[in-house]
Structure 1
Amino acid sequence: MKRVPFIKSDLGMMLILSVLIGIVVGAIDTVFGRILIYLTDFRSEHSLLLIPFLAPAGMIFTYYFLKYGKNSSKGMGLVFKAGHQEEDNIPKRLVPFVILGTWVTHLFGGSAGREGVAIQVGASISLAASSFMKRVDASQFIIMGMAAGFAGLFETPIAASFFALEVLTVGALRYDALLPTLFAAFAADVTSKWLGLEKFSVAIENAPSIDAGIFIKLIILGIIFGLCGGAFSSALNKMKNLFVEKLPNPVRRVGIVGGLLSLLLLLLFSGRYAGLGTNLIDASFSASTINPYDWLLKAVLTILTVAAGFQGGEVTPLFAIGSTLGVVLSSFFGLPTAFVAALGYVSVFGSATNTFLAPIMIGAEVFGFENLPYFFIVSSVAFVFNGNKSIYGNQKVAAILQ
């Protein structure tokens, strides 16, 4: 597909469509998110009854997804290919399938995220809307939809805008899509807020003043978080390839790995590492108990869940991995626990997704804009030290960074 240059005379129509897309995607995010919260709470109350059925539930869903979902089973890879203009279409049936699949994953305890649904739904709906504007590059609508999906679910519209603009090709911001992306993200954010979707936010009020000693500590933390995110991405991609090689049948793969996951999830503190990881995030910022190995076990179980083919995503577990690792590191660095947990929350996500601006803005929108300098320093270092790895296999890297 040949890229069509942005035409400023189309701006008015583009912005109208971006707002409408944001409203629709924000509403879908809300329904999806609120039901997911209910299912998570229900599973937490009945872990011993539900987690053992992760494998059969995953097998049934995977069978029907492959049979009736056409190429929508390619998931995020399909979105990235459409964003790179290597695919012309994202099937509309992707929307109900990825929503239902993620509900199944979380009801039965898979350690996965939720952003995959939001981004895929947003991209699918937005791309469908691109038919109203023949002269505009359809990939702009992919970016717009990704931002709307992320913003509607996490209610961080500035971070969502930067994430969508930079994640397709690292080192090449899509400024041609900047304004409509911003409009779509804020429309989705306002919609999900108005419909009552919860937002996670914590006020970090005890951040230390930056001096030479604190600056050095922030640099070292950035290196650690960057290596952590890079290692997560590398391990995830290698595990996906290993599973495909050893278990080429997707239904059987989900069944075998799902059975192993059920056993591990129950043996390891009866479901402590099941689902999104919001329990670990909450514990990180409420002075509750965080074990030194929480971040590692959450990482391993998330890698197994996603690599096996369960629907969901990785972002919220990455938030949990980063925040719990931050809690562990805080005592070694003599820094406030919640402060270092916040640094880990944003920079492990950034290093694992190979993004730079998005994690900085997530930190500002979730933990307060007054802490932006800390997120800038740590995320900058983490971005450099992640080894150019990414959880998104179809992400491209600009020549200047290669």
Structure 2
Amino acid sequence: MNKYISEYKEIGIYAISAIFVGLAVGVLDTLFGKVLIFIGTFRDSYAGYLIPMLPFAGLFIVYMYKKIGKNTNKGISLVFAAGNEELEEIPKRMIPLTILGTWITHLFGGSAGREGVAVQIGATFSHAIGRKIPYKNASKIMLITGMAAGFGGLFETPFAATFFALEVLVVGKLEYLALFPALIAAFVASFVSHFLGLEKFSVNLDVALSMDGQTMLKILVLGIIFGAVGGLFAYMLGYAKRYMVEKLPDLRKRIFFVGILISALLLMFHMGRYSGLGTNLIAADFNGEIVYGYDWIVKFILTILTLAAGFQGGEVTPIFSIGSSLGVWLAPLFGLPIEFVAALGYISVFSSATNTLIAPALIGAEVFGFDYLPYFLLTVCVSYVFNGNHSIYGGQKTIL
């Protein structure tokens, strides 16, 4: 009997901690997300004035991190290091720095995401709590819990957020002890951010399909293509980071001169169409607006340049836009509904680039509808296999 009391007590402590984490991270995600939306709208209104200032914004980011950031410019790599027990404590100053750095990057046109910031917020906050809980692996369990809260609060996809946090640290191993608190934190953070008015992206996908042999074959081929593109993105991002460090080891020079190149390309290609998150491209993909066949390629290149140069932000939302824009281009070639193939690309390129399997399928279900989950599972399984075992997260471990 004492054994069960002890176990339920531990579960209860994690559950209460998860509720607290979900509440706090949900509020922080909302603040971060709402300001980011405002920044994106403001930038689009004055793109011609703000985008040319991107190189100087980069210099300010470098100065900010050098003065007060110490090693926090490593960003999400610190989260992975802590999750794999290679780092004892995540510096708390990383939260305001990564938020401010990402806001600046987006204000001046950098092509970057936002999930990295949300995950860092949740992980840093919850890992500190976990270090005070007197149970084995408490810090790791709480770190995963915070990652789920960060992702769930920002995207309001709590099931996907839970499994993303469980899957992403180590490929081939799920930390099941973290499942319950991660689920609680993800749902609480998602509820809080929704209650506070942070908008959720969702599409009422309404297409008639049958799971016949021909459709399955088309989805398999699409999965291979999406898997190759996601794997290539992850590989090229890692390669670009290493190459730029080798050629321009001084971060100030790197971010300034590459920033000039990025600014020029952003202005050259439709005056800032490829700035920021890429949500404008996603909206175009699912609303029947103008989509160029090269949208996904340009967004692919500019996102890699932005992040490799040293600007702040995540990769996931640009990856969503790359996948959905590629899907729009491929749909007529396969004779499938445009919105459906865009949805497959949205989740499958994400699966491939992050080397995760369950979370992307659940993102598809939570964003586009659970009725299509069998199709999502099929394409994600294929894209996961054909990604070349690459990941945008350099700190991700793999168990063979």
With normalisation by structure 1, the TM-score equals 0.97
**Cα deviation digits, residues 159-190 of structure 1 (max 9, x gap):** 00000000001111111111011011001001
Hey, what does 1:134 align to over in structure 2? 134
Q: CA deviation at 1:241?
A: 0.2
Hey, what does 1:235 align to over in structure 2? 236
Q: Which amino acid is the alignment partner of residue 210 of structure 2?
A: S
d(CA) in 2 for partners of 1:363, 1:68: 39
Q: CA deviation at 1:142?
A: 1.1
Q: CA deviation at 1:342?
A: 0.3
d(CA) in 2 for partners of 1:23, 1:252: 41
Hey, what does 2:318 align to over in structure 1? 317
d(CA) in 2 for partners of 1:200, 1:207: 22
Q: CA deviation at 1:7?
A: 5.3
Change (3 A) 1:207 1:341: farther
Q: CA deviation at 1:64?
A: 1.6
d(CA) in 1 for partners of 2:107, 2:391: 27
Q: Which amino acid is the alignment partner of residue 186 of structure 1?
A: F
> Does residue 155 of structure 2 align to residue 154 of structure 1?
yes
> Does residue 366 of structure 2 align to residue 372 of structure 1?
no
- How many residues are paired up? 394
Hey, what does 2:66 align to over in structure 1? 66
> Does residue 302 of structure 2 align to residue 279 of structure 1?
no
Q: CA deviation at 1:134?
A: 2.1
Hey, what does 1:29 align to over in structure 2? 29
**Cα deviation digits, residues 29-85 of structure 1 (max 9, x gap):** 000000000000000000000000001011111122122112211111100000001
**Cα deviation digits, residues 355-380 of structure 1 (max 9, x gap):** 00010000000000001001000000
d(CA) in 2 for partners of 1:22, 1:132: 17
Hey, what does 2:52 align to over in structure 1? 52
d(CA) in 2 for partners of 1:274, 1:311: 13
Q: Which runs of 4+ in 1 moved over 3 A?
A: 6-9
Unaligned runs of 5+ in 1: 1-5
Q: Which amino acid is the alignment partner of residue 343 of structure 1?
A: L
CA contact (8 A) 2:61 2:311 kept: no
More off after superposition, 56-65 vs 264-273: 56-65
Hey, what does 2:210 align to over in structure 1? 209
Change (3 A) 1:8 1:88: farther
- Report matched runs for 1:247-326 at 5 Å: 247-326=248-327
d(CA) in 1 for partners of 2:240, 2:8: 45
Unaligned runs of 5+ in 2: 1-5
d(CA) in 1 for partners of 2:213, 2:263: 47
CA contact (8 A) 1:148 1:186 kept: yes
**RMSD over aligned Cα atoms:** 1.0
CA contact (8 A) 2:327 2:343 kept: yes
d(CA) in 1 for partners of 2:60, 2:383: 39
CA contact (8 A) 1:170 1:398 kept: yes
CA contact (8 A) 1:207 1:371 kept: no
d(CA) in 2 for partners of 1:140, 1:342: 32
Q: CA deviation at 1:8?
A: 4.9
d(CA) in 2 for partners of 1:109, 1:247: 22
Hey, what does 2:109 align to over in structure 1? 109
More off after superposition, 265-274 vs 133-142: 133-142
Hey, what does 1:3 align to over in structure 2? none
Hey, what does 2:354 align to over in structure 1? 353
d(CA) in 1 for partners of 2:208, 2:112: 31
